[in-house]
Amino acid sequence: MTHEETMRPPPTIGHIFRSRDHYEVGREKIREFARAVQDFHPAHWDDADTLGYPGLIAPVTFASATISAVQRDLLRMALGGYDPARLVQVEQEIHCHRPVVAGDRLTHEVTVDSWRTVAGGDIIALTTVIGDLGTGPVQTVHTTLAGRGGIEGRRVGGIAKNIALQELPIPQREPRHTSPGNRPFPASPASGLSGKTPAGYRFPSRTFRLTRGELVNYAGVCGDLNPIHWSDDIARVTGAPGVVTHGMLTMGLGAAALTSWVGHPAAILDFSTVFTHPVHVVTGRAAEIEFTGTVTAVDLDACRATVALAAQCDGTSVIGRAAATVALDDQSIMV
Look at 183 and 189; give whichever has higher pLDDT. Answer: 183
Instruction: Please give the Cα distance from 50 to 86 (Å, whole number).
Output: 39
Name the CATH superfamily housing domain 15-333: Hotdog Thioesterase (3.10.129.10)
231-259 mean pLDDT: 93
Provide the residue type at 48 as one letter. A
Q: Which residue has the higher pLDDT, 84 or 185?
A: 185
SS3 277: coil
Task: Supply angle C-alpha 120, 126, 127, rounded to 5.
Answer: 165
Distance CA(278)–CA(41), nearest Å, equals 27
What rounded mean pLDDT belongs to the chain? 85
At 3 the pLDDT is 38
Residues 6+ apart with CB under 8 A from 225: 72, 84, 85, 164, 165, 167, 219
Q: What is the mean predicted confidence (pLDDT) over 119-135?
A: 91
C-beta of residue 30 within 8 angstroms of C-beta of residue 53: no
pLDDT of residue 332 exceeding 60: no
H-helix segments, the chain: 3-7, 27-36, 69-78, 150-161, 212-222, 232-238, 247-262, 330-334
Where along the chain do its domains lie? 15-333
CA pair distance 202, 293, nearest whole angstrom: 6
What is residue 164's DSSP assignment? S
pLDDT tens sequence across 47-60 = 866 678 899 999 99
Q: How high is the pLDDT of residue 246?
A: 95
